[in-house]
Amino acid sequence: MADDGRSGPGGRWDGLTETGAGTPMGELLRRYWWPIAGASELDLPGTRPVRLLGEDLVLYKDLGGRFGLLDRHCRHRRADLSYGYVETSGLRCNYHGWLYDSDGSCLAQPYEDIAHPEARLRDEVRLKAYPVTELGGLIWAYLGPEPRPLVPDWEFFSWTNGFRQIVKAEIPCNWLQCQENSIDPVHFEWTHSNWSVRLGGATGPYAPRHVKVDFSEFDYGFQYKRIRTDTDRDDRLWTIGRVCLWPNALFVGGHVEFRVPIDDENTLSIAWHFSRVPREREPYVQQSIPTWQGPITDPNTGRWITSHVMNQDFVTWVGQGRIADRTREYLGPSDRGIVMVRRRFLDDLDAIREGRDPKAVIRDPAINRAIPLPVADRESVIAGYPRADIVKDALSRRGLRGYIFQTGQPEAVREAFLAAMGFTESELGPDDQHFDPLAPAR
Ligand code: FES
Ligand SMILES: [Fe+2]
């Protein structure tokens, strides 16, 4: 690939994988809101440890129903606040009872308040605290400078008549190589379609070949487009394509996958999935979006799990190494989108140095309402079909037989999904492993 003039010792992409506070890229990533959990994980008041962008934090919901995100360690003698207990307002340390509000102020120091009330020691105490908010059933955190931008209200959060689920996984590698997969059309052919054929024990036939790919930038990310041997320029995967959603996600219509940096060497994958109910099930209103976390390693073999779509992606990402060494890669023409993404990050490092907002930071509330995105399969994802049509369609039936994207879906979520869709297990037939779920949809 042509050099972009940023070469230097260690390679021209040096620094792009850093996530920590004080690093240029860590500061850039702090200009965005990040999803950190499903709201349903804290249906009841309580705490959850969170590690985000290399910072150890505790997320809590107090007895008054308010969320907070604080330093993991108490300001007094650094006890672990994820073992603290929530009060009507705030989180109390389980060591000596200091009580913190969501803005990091100290509301009470039980012993000091009684023994030395005049000292008002607590007025001096501040704990690191970050804003959190809820949108689309997700809890979002912002670790950057004020004034904070808005949490992007993407259109899919407003789609109706759908069963939604939030699926997590912890991936032991840097987030950027996960996100580079969001601008990688050709891997579908080999990582999903053809590998599924081989995992199923067959040696063919392989999927139609990619013959042309293209990449373009828009306000909220990049689109990638493809023509395969079985499609032409009129195909919506060429005219619309798929979306690399800025700065951290892949959006394919029926679901969006966020890649959230835990630290430089670990990523939290959060998929938000939407399944439109059949027409006969309308109006369908989901009370709470279930959240579950799937395994990525087979305990019997110690190897990565390969049976589901996103698990297959995970294998490719971790296989690139803990932090993929970009000085040792050999980019080809299909990687042009990846280079565009990296250059955008480098340009945005300049932007924040110059005091400008980086790409896709949203501050105007008038814009931030169900922001429309390119959706190639818009109708099939959100319009809804009669039950009889769903039963007739092989791909739709396959989508009902089991959750194809990640292994480990809890039985309760499976049952809630079937109840929402109005199907029973027995009328759907057995799940078939290694069926290529992406072949017709690409
Ligand atoms: S360490 Fe938290 S109150 Fe003492
Ligand atoms: Fe993939």
pLDDT single digits (tens) 396-417: 888 899 999 999 999 999 999 9
CATH number of the domain enclosing 105: 2.102.10.10
Identify whether 128 is part of a domain: yes
Identify whether 342 is part of a domain: yes
Ligand nearest to the CA of 96: 1
Q: How confident is the model at residue 3 (pLDDT cuts 50, 70, 90)?
A: very low
Q: How confident is the model at residue 429 (pLDDT cuts 50, 70, 90)?
A: confident
What total number of domains does the chain contain? 2
Do 375 and 334 reside in the same domain of the chain?
yes
How many Cα atoms sit within 13 Å of 406 on the Cβ side?
Answer: 28
| pLDDT for the residue numbered 1 | 44
Do 293 and 391 reside in the same domain of the chain?
yes
- Asked whether 108 lines ligand 1 (CB < 6 A), one says no
Whether 92 shows a pLDDT value over 80: the answer reads yes
Domain edge (last residue) among 109, 142, 175: 142
Identify whether 166 is part of a domain: yes
CA–centroid distance, 256 to ligand 2, in Å, is 12
- Asked whether 91 lines ligand 1 (CB < 6 A), one says no
Identify whether 82 is part of a domain: yes
- Asked whether 83 lines ligand 1 (CB < 6 A), one says no
CA–centroid distance, 345 to ligand 2, in Å, is 22
Do 280 and 131 reside in the same domain of the chain?
no
Average pLDDT across the chain, whole number? 94
- In the chain, what percentage of residues exceed pLDDT 70? 95
What CA–CA distance (Å, rounded) separates 27 from 144? Answer: 7
* pTM summary value: 0.95
Token digits for 31? 């200009």
Question: For residue 136, what are the CA distances in angstroms to 141, 280, 286?
Answer: 14, 24, 12
| Residue 381, H or E segment | helix 378-382
Residue matched to tokens 């500061």:
27
Do 345 and 422 reside in the same domain of the chain?
yes
- Asked whether 356 lines ligand 1 (CB < 6 A), one says no
Whether 441 shows a pLDDT value over 80: the answer reads no
Token digits for 30? 């702090």
- Sequence-distant (6+) residues with CB within 8 A of 34 are 52, 53, 140, 141, 142, 143, 248, 258, 260, 261
What CA–CA distance (Å, rounded) separates 121 from 108? Answer: 10
Q: What residue type is 273 in one-letter code?
A: H
User: What are the tens digits of pLDDT across the range 270-310?
Assistant: 999 999 999 999 999 999 999 999 999 999 999 999 999 99
- Asked whether 98 lines ligand 1 (CB < 6 A), one says yes
Ligand nearest to the CA of 314: 2
Q: For a substitution probing ligand 1, which of 96, 106, 113 has the most ligand atoms within 8 Å of its CB? A: 96
What CA–CA distance (Å, rounded) separates 178 from 318? Answer: 9
Do 304 and 209 reside in the same domain of the chain?
yes
Q: Closest Cα to atom 3, ligand 1: which residue?
A: 96
| pLDDT for the residue numbered 397 | 87
Ligand nearest to the CA of 85: 1
Q: Closest Cα to atom 1, ligand 1: which residue?
A: 77
Residue numbers of the domain that contains 398: 155-428
CA–centroid distance, 300 to ligand 2, in Å, is 25
- Asked whether 352 lines ligand 1 (CB < 6 A), one says no
Q: How confident is the model at residue 136 (pLDDT cuts 50, 70, 90)?
A: very high
Token digits for 371? 């922001």
| pLDDT for the residue numbered 167 | 98
Domain edge (last residue) among 142, 164, 193: 142
Domain edge (last residue) among 88, 113, 142: 142
CA–centroid distance, 33 to ligand 1, in Å, is 30
Q: For residues 357-363, give the mean pLDDT.
A: 98
| Residue 91, H or E segment | strand 91-92
Q: What residue type is 364 in one-letter code?
A: D
- Asked whether 76 lines ligand 1 (CB < 6 A), one says yes
Q: Which atom of ligand 1 is nearest to the CA of 109?
A: 3
Is 79 within 8 Å of 93 (Cβ atoms)? yes
Q: How confident is the model at residue 6 (pLDDT cuts 50, 70, 90)?
A: very low
What CA–CA distance (Å, rounded) separates 160 from 373? Answer: 16
Task: Provide the 3-class DSSP secondary structure of residue 89.
Answer: coil
Q: Which atom of ligand 1 is nearest to the CA of 79?
A: 1
Is 271 within 8 Å of 405 (Cβ atoms)? yes
Do 186 and 42 reside in the same domain of the chain?
no
Do 206 and 269 reside in the same domain of the chain?
yes
Do 105 and 204 reside in the same domain of the chain?
no
Ligand nearest to the CA of 192: 2
Do 80 and 196 reside in the same domain of the chain?
no
| pLDDT for the residue numbered 427 | 85
- In the chain, what percentage of residues exceed pLDDT 90? 90
Q: How confident is the model at residue 11 (pLDDT cuts 50, 70, 90)?
A: low
Do 323 and 401 reside in the same domain of the chain?
yes
Q: How confident is the model at residue 432 (pLDDT cuts 50, 70, 90)?
A: low
Q: For residues 37-60, give the mean pLDDT.
A: 98
- Asked whether 93 lines ligand 1 (CB < 6 A), one says yes
CA–centroid distance, 183 to ligand 2, in Å, is 10
Identify whether 13 is part of a domain: no
Do 124 and 243 reside in the same domain of the chain?
no
Do 276 and 406 reside in the same domain of the chain?
yes
Identify whether 382 is part of a domain: yes
| pLDDT for the residue numbered 391 | 87
Q: How confident is the model at residue 265 (pLDDT cuts 50, 70, 90)?
A: very high
Task: Provide the 3-class DSSP secondary structure of residue 81.
Answer: helix
Is 139 within 8 Å of 37 (Cβ atoms)? yes
Our measurement of the distance from residue 216's CA atom to the centroid of its chain's CA atoms, rounded to an integer in Å, reads 22
What CA–CA distance (Å, rounded) separates 101 from 247? Answer: 31
CA–centroid distance, 337 to ligand 1, in Å, is 49
Q: Which atom of ligand 1 is nearest to the CA of 93?
A: 2
Identify whether 440 is part of a domain: no
